[in-house]
Structure 1
Amino acid sequence: MDWYENYKERLTYVYDAAERTIAGFPAPLDQVGLAYADKFHPVKHDKGQNFICMLLPYWMKDVAGITDEQCDKLALTNVYLMLYYFIQDDVMDDGPASDVKEKLALGNLLYSEMLSISRTLFPSHSPYWDYYAKYKTIWASSVVNETSNNYFLADPIQIAHKAGPVKIASSGALLLGSKEDLIPTIEEAVDIALMTLQMADDWVDWKEDMLESSYNSLIAMIETSLQPDVPLTEDIVSTYIYVRCCMNEYVKVARNQHMHLLSLNSQLPELENYNQYILDHLTQTAESIESNRERMKKGGLNYFFEKQGR
């Protein structure tokens, strides 16, 4: 995990700076904001695999030719952006919750901080703002249309679009380094990593997503295998996962996209390693399910003894 371990010190520095700013928000948003930010601290909770938005500027440093200070500012920008969009997701998922007023107010303050830092790096005429407008529009379309359009089956990469604003860090880095011509390739590479991450999240969250009627790529894949008159239930999804081993097909999609990522020659080895890391976890999950199914075929008693280590 060099793609994470090499940057823990920088991530701590950047996140501490964000928390100091949030601590200066008017009460009670200061405490609400700090509590919210703490849940996503990439080093304190050692969940670096989920924080491509903060790691991406550092992965971009060499290919873009930017400074450490520029990396830090891009990372800090994405911290505020990440928290802002997480709040948007919470509000949309929770509906008229009692704390929606605080969340929306906090989100606006975080968004303002993102804009303030971005303006120190990019003047108003910079293409940076056009790229951000594009990513934000794609995010909005994805959020609204994901349940009506089966993104995963039509084009798996589209499930990455809800995290599309993350790419402002990579595009911003290339603009700072006067390498705008590389943006399309890097956008494609980052999208693949975001897709793989979303697939991993969908595997972990499929029961919760099913309960909340949220779009989930794994469930969407399973649902297309059913007859139109067969209702989708948790038992059916479990059967497809643990008996029919549909995870093998699911992982194949991620594996094919990873091969495409390598073919892009993006010059981002840490991004490639990050994507491989997530793919490995998905692969191990599928293999474990397959192995357990094979043991069960030998007989329940043998399976029980093996699980007990006898």
Structure 2
Amino acid sequence: MHWIDDFRTELAYVFAEAGTEIARFPYPLSEQGLFMLARFNPLNEGGSTNYISYLLPYWVREQTEVSPELCHDLAIGNIFAMLHYFILDDAIDKSAEASGENIRSSLVLGQLLHNLFYQRYYRHYPAESPIWQYYDKYIADWAAAVYHEGRAPANPFAARLLARKSSPVKLCAVGVLISANRQDQIERHEEAVDLALATLQLADDWADWVDDLVEQNSNAFLSLVKQQLSLDPEAQLDERTVKQAIYQSGCLDRLAEIAASNGSRLEEIPYVPQRLVDFHNSLAKGIRRDAQLAEETTRQIALGGFSYFLSNIPNK
């Protein structure tokens, strides 16, 4: 948990600042926004662990001499952007069953949050700054990812494609590098962050495979299961088949290998923040640990009782 422990002061500050601004929204949007913010605050019990969204500027800063105030503003801006895109994703995913009024209020709140994101970034980067060209590119990446989601199976081996839905996260790293006059390092940092985001997506897809199986959502781990079992990419999976792939076909071990490969590539990139590498490796180790537990469980089960075991073992 050193992701939190090393930055508790910064996290307390940026989430408090974000809360102060959201509290100024018209009621009841302010209440809705503060509720969402609390859910994402890693300092709260059960809060989100999407650390890279708001800690990345601090990680990049450790290689530069930019001011703490700049990193605070970029982190706060990223919190607003994170909430904005969460609202958009949720509205897109649930548009079929959600009421029009719920979607209306969420999208209005999302627009207010996006405006606060702009305000934080504009403090340091005027309209003519090159950062906004990167922003345009990242938004295009996000849009392409959302559009194609569900239209084609997620590819667990394509780190760049797995990461592009989270591309806007990279803007804060670009901001720090521009302010430090290190634009020559932007491309390397983009690649490094993409690899970390790809492994984060793999870890999320492994954690969410049961829900995604029910809702038929795009999921890189389920795509890997189909590949490992030589199934058609459009084949419908059930829980029993996925569990067999985990405990008999080594699919989770294969997922851990992909994450480890991303880590090896990440460590070869020069001038990458060590904390970004550590963050990635903690994700990869988590997947590897789950794979080892699956292997150990399989060894402990007598072959004759495997069918019963598959029917009763927890989903993860």
With normalisation by structure 2, the TM-score equals: 0.90
Mapped partners of 1:219, 1:23: distance in 2: 40
Q: What residue is the counterpart of 2:293 in the other structure?
A: 288
Shift of 1:65: 2.3
The change in CA–CA distance for 1:237 and 1:14 in structure 2 (over 3 A counts) is same
- Report the more deviating stretch, 223-232 or 152-161: 223-232
Shift of 1:175: 0.7
**Matched ranges for 1:230-241 at <5 A:** 231-241=236-246
Q: Which of 274, 278, 296 lines up with 1:273 in the alignment?
A: 278
Mapped partners of 2:90, 2:278: distance in 1: 30
Q: What residue is the counterpart of 1:192 in the other structure?
A: 195
Q: What residue is the counterpart of 1:17 in the other structure?
A: 17
Q: What residue is the counterpart of 1:60 in the other structure?
A: 60
- CA RMSD of the aligned region, Å? 2.0
Matched residue type, 1:190: V
Q: Which of 257, 263, 277 lines up with 2:268 in the alignment?
A: 263
- Report the more deviating stretch, 40-49 or 57-66: 40-49
> The residue matched to 2:32 in structure 1 has which SS?
helix
Q: What residue is the counterpart of 1:106 in the other structure?
A: 109
The change in CA–CA distance for 1:46 and 1:186 in structure 2 (over 3 A counts) is farther
Shift of 1:47: 4.8
Partners of 1:78 and 1:169 within 8 A in 2: yes
Mapped partners of 2:48, 2:214: distance in 1: 28
With normalisation by structure 1, the TM-score equals: 0.92
Q: What residue is the counterpart of 1:136 in the other structure?
A: 139
**Matched ranges for 1:39-118 at <5 A:** 39-45=39-45, 47=47, 49-96=49-96, 97-98=98-99, 99-118=102-121
Mapped partners of 2:61, 2:255: distance in 1: 33
The change in CA–CA distance for 1:49 and 1:265 in structure 2 (over 3 A counts) is farther
- Report the more deviating stretch, 58-67 or 83-92: 58-67
| Greater relative CO (CA pairs within 8 A, separation 6+) | 1
Matched residue type, 2:237: L
Q: Which runs of 5+ in 1 are unaligned?
A: 305-310
Mapped partners of 2:75, 2:231: distance in 1: 47
Q: What residue is the counterpart of 2:122 in the other structure?
A: 119
Matched residue type, 2:298: R
Partners of 1:189 and 1:266 within 8 A in 2: no
- Report the more deviating stretch, 65-74 or 96-105: 96-105
Q: What residue is the counterpart of 1:307 in the other structure?
A: none
Partners of 1:135 and 1:164 within 8 A in 2: yes
Mapped partners of 1:79, 1:14: distance in 2: 8
Q: Which of 172, 175, 188 lines up with 1:169 in the alignment?
A: 172
- Report the more deviating stretch, 55-64 or 80-89: 55-64
Shift of 1:94: 1.2
Partners of 1:4 and 1:55 within 8 A in 2: no
Mapped partners of 1:42, 1:100: distance in 2: 26
Partners of 2:263 and 2:281 within 8 A in 1: yes
Shift of 1:31: 0.7
Mapped partners of 2:271, 2:149: distance in 1: 28
Shift of 1:180: 0.7
Mapped partners of 1:153, 1:38: distance in 2: 31
**Matched ranges for 1:236-247 at <5 A:** 236-247=241-252
Mapped partners of 1:299, 1:245: distance in 2: 19
